[in-house]
Structure 1
Amino acid sequence: MPSFYGSVPILAVAAIQFLLLRSVSSLNLTNEYLHHKCINSQGKYNKGSVYEANLNRVLGLTSSANLVDGFSDATYGEAPNAAYLRLQCRADSYLSKCQACLSTAISELRRRCPGNKGAIIWYDQCLLRISMIHGYGKVDNENDFFLSNPKKVSGNIESFNKETSALLVNLTAKATSTSNVGSDSLVLYAAGEKMIGTKKVFAMVQCTKDFVFKSCLTCLQGILKKFPMCCNGKLGGRVLGVSCNFRYELYPFLRS
């Protein structure tokens, strides 16, 4: 499963993991590591520093949170040593599954980006970002990547691309509709399926819950433009960013 960060190829463990996923149940029960980025431009913190203390505190506060809606945007401390955190779990991975993904992400982010003030890590079930810059409500157009199945569909690839793109556009409209509101917050997520020829395609789109409808729409429209690069005729594919993501497969990959 080739993986790219922007337009630059990267080596990703997920390339092997994708090929090893043999069943729907195995996919749903695992939390695959997908990619990470150490944001070196934000610099490093020293052991025992104020920033490290603030980061530990904000991580601790989030890890003990309820995460009932699968999202957390937290901060601790004062500039220039304030530490910010964003967590977004996949829409079917709330509560205990979200908590488990967060715990894994914290541990791995510390290991993969030791001492970095800014870093991002993506898993199948969640996204975690730490930063010294607060990005609440702002679309991040810089930090995204894509994954795709190495195999292509049989038959009319042009038609498959057109119909799959149309499904994702329809889901984007649903996710950003003003009627898409949960019990106490914006949903900013939609999933669906569609028969394309003899194939059933399953798909989802999602934004982080710090957005309003317009920001979510802007983000999703931006990453959907990368569909030709990511997903041309592929059996499955996805683009993942810090602010939003989309995915489609020829098998159900979401928990009911």
Structure 2
Amino acid sequence: MVNSAALCRGDIEPGLCMNCLNDSIVKLREVCPNQKEAIGTYDNCLLKYSTRSLLGNPKIMDYHYVLFNIYNSTDSVRFIGAVAALINDLKADAASGGLLLKFATGNTTGPDFKKIDGLVQCSPDLTEIQCRDCLEYANYLYVRDGHSESLGGTIILPTCRYSYGLDPFFNVNISESSVPSSSSSPSPSLRGTNVTCLDRNIFNRK
């Protein structure tokens, strides 16, 4: 049996969400036609499937995808501190969300009075602790990969993500309650597409 799960980014309109999901289904079939496990991340959604159970299991897939601004802050100490504080506050808000949505956006003032926007999201099947742990691990990977001084970036894991940047990138007009979320609809990504086949074993064909 194959299990699938997907998650719309919390600020995306339902129509864009469904378009993303439909495109991701096609792309996953093209890139990983016989694999037992795969994940696709896109600007507006994330889609994954596996022969293992996906819900409530944040460590089921060893995967992360990073996008980052190639330019670094000229005041890295204060910038890193401002981003860390913002993401930490948003992490708490998102983790305390309900069974339909664990999502938060906000902003803070960085060096030179520049506004820094932030977005965090967890798969709603995670517990509050699991959501926090996932986002903390995402931050660890992002820093480990050497992107903490970047003026903007996103990291996506199978069950959580966060983004930040100086330019507005989320839709403030979409209320959280209006965005549907379930274990088999679309999820978040960025300015690109990343599809990864996580298991090389192929399905048995009759």
Indicate the TM-score class for this superposition, using the shorter chain for normalisation: 0.7 to 0.9
Letter in 2 for 1:165: A
Q: Give yes or no for contact 1:231–1:238 (8 Å, CA) kept in 2.
A: no
Deviation at 1:230, TM superposition (A): 4.7
Looking at structure 1, the residues matched to 100 and 155 of structure 2 have their Cα atoms a distance apart, in angstroms, of: 22
| 2:175 matches 1:175 | no
1:103 pairs, out of 22, 34, 41, with 22
1:27-80 C-alpha deviation (Å, 9 max, x unpaired): xxxxxxxxxxxxxxxxxxxxxxxxxxxxxxxxxxxxxxxxxxxxxxxxxxxxxx
Deviation at 1:253, TM superposition (A): 0.6
1:212 pairs, out of 113, 120, 127, with 127
Deviation at 1:116, TM superposition (A): 1.6
Q: Give yes or no for contact 1:230–1:237 (8 Å, CA) kept in 2.
A: no
Q: Which has the higher contact order (CA 8 A, sep 6+)?
A: 2
Alignment of 1:1-256 (within 5 A): 82-140=1-59, 142-154=62-74, 156-177=75-96, 180-181=97-98, 185-197=99-111, 198-228=113-143, 229-256=145-172
Deviation at 1:145, TM superposition (A): 2.3
1:135 counterpart SS class: coil
1:71-120 C-alpha deviation (Å, 9 max, x unpaired): xxxxxxxxxxx111111111012421111000000011111112222111
Looking at structure 2, the residues matched to 99 and 205 of structure 1 have their Cα atoms a distance apart, in angstroms, of: 21
Q: Give yes or no for contact 2:117–2:167 (8 Å, CA) kept in 1.
A: yes
Looking at structure 2, the residues matched to 230 and 190 of structure 1 have their Cα atoms a distance apart, in angstroms, of: 25
TM-score by length of 2: 0.77
Q: Give yes or no for contact 1:175–1:189 (8 Å, CA) kept in 2.
A: yes
Looking at structure 2, the residues matched to 83 and 189 of structure 1 have their Cα atoms a distance apart, in angstroms, of: 27
Deviation at 1:231, TM superposition (A): 2.4
Letter in 2 for 1:168: I
Q: Give yes or no for contact 2:9–2:44 (8 Å, CA) kept in 1.
A: yes
Looking at structure 1, the residues matched to 169 and 23 of structure 2 have their Cα atoms a distance apart, in angstroms, of: 21
Question: CA separation of 1:230/1:94 partners in 2, compared to 1, >3 Å: closer, same or farther?
Answer: farther
Identical amino acids, percent of aligned pairs: 30
Give the aligned CA root-mean-square deviation in angstroms. Answer: 1.5
Q: Which runs of 5+ in 2 are unaligned?
A: 173-206
Deviation at 1:242, TM superposition (A): 0.3
2:192 paired residue number = none
Q: Give yes or no for contact 1:121–1:128 (8 Å, CA) kept in 2.
A: yes
Looking at structure 2, the residues matched to 83 and 204 of structure 1 have their Cα atoms a distance apart, in angstroms, of: 31
Q: Which has the larger radius of gyration?
A: 1
Looking at structure 2, the residues matched to 236 and 230 of structure 1 have their Cα atoms a distance apart, in angstroms, of: 13
Looking at structure 1, the residues matched to 72 and 130 of structure 2 have their Cα atoms a distance apart, in angstroms, of: 33
Letter in 1 for 2:49: I
Question: CA separation of 1:108/1:219 partners in 2, compared to 1, >3 Å: closer, same or farther?
Answer: same
* Count of residues paired in the alignment: 169
Looking at structure 1, the residues matched to 159 and 135 of structure 2 have their Cα atoms a distance apart, in angstroms, of: 9
